[in-house]
Amino acid sequence: MLSCNSQGSKQYQSDSTVVVNDSLSEKERFATAIAKPLISQRYSADPSVHVFEGKMFIYPSHDYDAGIPEKDDGSHFAMKDYYVYSLDSIGGEIKDYGIALQLKDVPWAEKQLWAPDAAFKNGKYYLYFPAKDKEGVFRIGVAESNHPHGPFKAHPDPMRYSFSIDPAVFTDTDGQSYMYFGGIWGGQLQKWASGSFDPDGSASDLEQDEQPALSPKIAKMDEGMTEFAEKPKDVLILDEHGQPLKGGDHERRFFEAAWMHKYQGKYYFSYSTGDTHLLCYAIGDNPYGPFTYQGVILKPVIGWTTHHAIMEFKGKWYLFYHDTELSEGKTHLRNVKVTELQYTPAGRIIPIDPYGQTVHAD
Ligand code: FUB
C-alpha cells in the first residue's frame, strides 16, 4: 500500500476505461455517490459479508486516527479492534454488536488488525484476521465464538504456514472451505517470494514488470477450520492468451483484497489492483483456478485503498465496498457502502462507477 492521494488528476486505462472528471472537487464527486455510508458511528473498511442466521453479517476493519503519519508500508492503518454489524435487509437499519475482538487479547499480535473475514462450520463461528507479530511480520490469526457477532476468543498462535494479509474464506457448495490471502507492498507478499520471509526483500513488486506478477495464495482449510489442510499454493491469474498477468500490468495484476464467489457454477476470483485503485475479477472452473482475467467491477473510489465482498441475499447480488466519504477523503479513515451488483446473461459483471461522474470512453 502506497500513499498517493488525489485521484482527480489521474486517468485509468483498462478494458473499461475510466476517465476521472478533473474539473470536479472531491466534495462534488461525493455528492453524486451511488451509496451512502452504512455505518456512521465509527469508521469502517474492508468489508467481508456473509449470511448467517438469515441476516447479512458485516465484518469490517475498524479505522481510527492513531496519529501515525501516512507511510508507504501502510503503518498509519494501525487498527486495534474489530466491531461486527448486521443488516436484515438492504436499506434496513444497521445493528451494531460492539467490540468483537481486541488486539490486546491476541497473544501473538502486536499491531495492525487489517481486513478480516468470518466463516461458520460445525456450529461455530470463526473470525480470521491479519496482524503484525512481534517481529513485524504479517500473519493470519483465528478466533472462535458461538455467535456470528462474537465476542471471539483468539487462538494463542497464528495459523501455521500463514503469512501476509487479507484472508477470505470461501465455502464451496460441497462444504469444503478454502482460504485466499495475500497482499503486496505493505502486505509483504513480495518478501515471501523465496518461500520464507526475507526482511530485506523488496518493498514492492516494482522490479517485476516483465515477469509473472506475484500470486495471491490459496489453502484448503482443515475440518476444524483453524488450520490449513495443505501448504498454501499460488493462485494464477491469466490474460486472454492464457499467459500469467505480468508484474508491470498494474491495471490488472493482483495487489490485495481477495474474494471468491460462485455464480452459475463458475468461480469468480475478485481483488484490488492497489496502486491503480480498481476492483476486478477473473473466472475459473474450480476454487484453485487458474482464473482468466475478465474486467473491472468497481472503478476507483475516493481514497487510496479499495476492498470488497460480493454476496447473494434473497436472490439479488450485492457489492460491499468502502470509500472515504465520512472523513472527506482521508485515506485511512474509511466507511463501508453497499450497492447492487448485476451480471449480463453471459455471466459478466457490469462495472460500477461509485460516483456516476466518470466518463466511459470507448
Ligand atoms: O485496511 C488495511 C488494508 O487496506 C487492507 O488489509 C487492504 O485490503 C486495504 O484495504
**CA-165 nearest atom, ligand 1:** 6
**Strand, helix or coil for residue 185:** helix
Residue with cell 475440518: 223
Q: What is the DSSP letter of 214?
A: P
Confirm or reject: Cβ of 26 under 6 Å from ligand 1. no
**CA-272 nearest atom, ligand 1:** 8
Confirm or reject: Cβ of 275 under 6 Å from ligand 1. no
Task: Report residue 258: phi and psi, to 5°.
Answer: -70, 145
The span from the CA of 6 to the CA of 38, in Å, is: 24
Task: Report residue 30: phi and psi, to 5°.
Answer: -60, -35
The span from the CA of 86 to the CA of 84, in Å, is: 7
For the entire predicted model, the pTM comes to: 0.93
Confirm or reject: Cβ of 77 under 6 Å from ligand 1. yes
**CA-45 nearest atom, ligand 1:** 1
With beta carbons less than 8 A apart as the criterion, state whether 82 and 129 touch. yes
Residue from 74, 75, 133 nearest 103 by CA:
133
Q: What is the DSSP letter of 67?
A: -
Task: Report residue 103: phi and psi, to 5°.
Answer: -55, -40
Q: What is the DSSP letter of 173?
A: T
Q: Please give the helix or strand (H or E) that residue 30 lies within, else none.
A: helix 26-31
CA of 19 to the centre of ligand 1 (A): 25
With beta carbons less than 8 A apart as the criterion, state whether 268 and 322 touch. no
Catalytic residues: 46, 256
Q: Which amino acid is at 251?
A: E
Predicted confidence pLDDT, tens digits, the chain (362 residues): 433 333 332 333 333 444 456 678 999 999 999 999 999 999 999 999 999 999 999 999 999 999 999 988 999 999 999 999 999 999 999 999 999 999 999 999 999 999 999 999 999 999 999 999 999 999 999 999 999 999 999 999 999 999 999 999 999 999 999 999 999 999 999 999 999 999 999 999 988 999 999 999 999 999 999 999 999 999 999 999 999 999 999 999 999 999 999 999 999 999 999 999 999 999 999 999 999 999 999 999 999 999 999 999 999 999 999 999 999 999 999 999 999 999 999 999 999 999 985 544 43
Task: Report residue 31: phi and psi, to 5°.
Answer: -65, -20
- Joined together, the cell numbers standing for residue 201 give 526483500
Confirm or reject: Cβ of 127 under 6 Å from ligand 1. no
Mutational pocket test of ligand 1: of 4, 129, 164, 165, the residue with most ligand atoms within 8 Å of the beta carbon: 165
CA of 273 to the centre of ligand 1 (A): 12
Kindly write down the DSSP assignment for every residue of 135-162, as one continuous string: TS-EEEEEEEESSTT---EE-SSPPTT-
Q: What is the pLDDT of residue 24?
A: 87
Q: What is the pLDDT of residue 72?
A: 87
User: What class, spelled out in words, does domain 6-360 have in CATH?
Assistant: mainly beta
Angle (CA) 71-37-354 rounded to 5° is 80
**Neighbouring C-beta atoms of residue 183, cutoff 10 Å:** 29
Q: What is the b/e burial string over 252-265, where b = at least 16 CB atoms within 10 angstroms of the residue's CB?
A: bbbbbbbbbbeeee
The span from the CA of 343 to the CA of 317, in Å, is: 9
The span from the CA of 226 to the CA of 345, in Å, is: 38
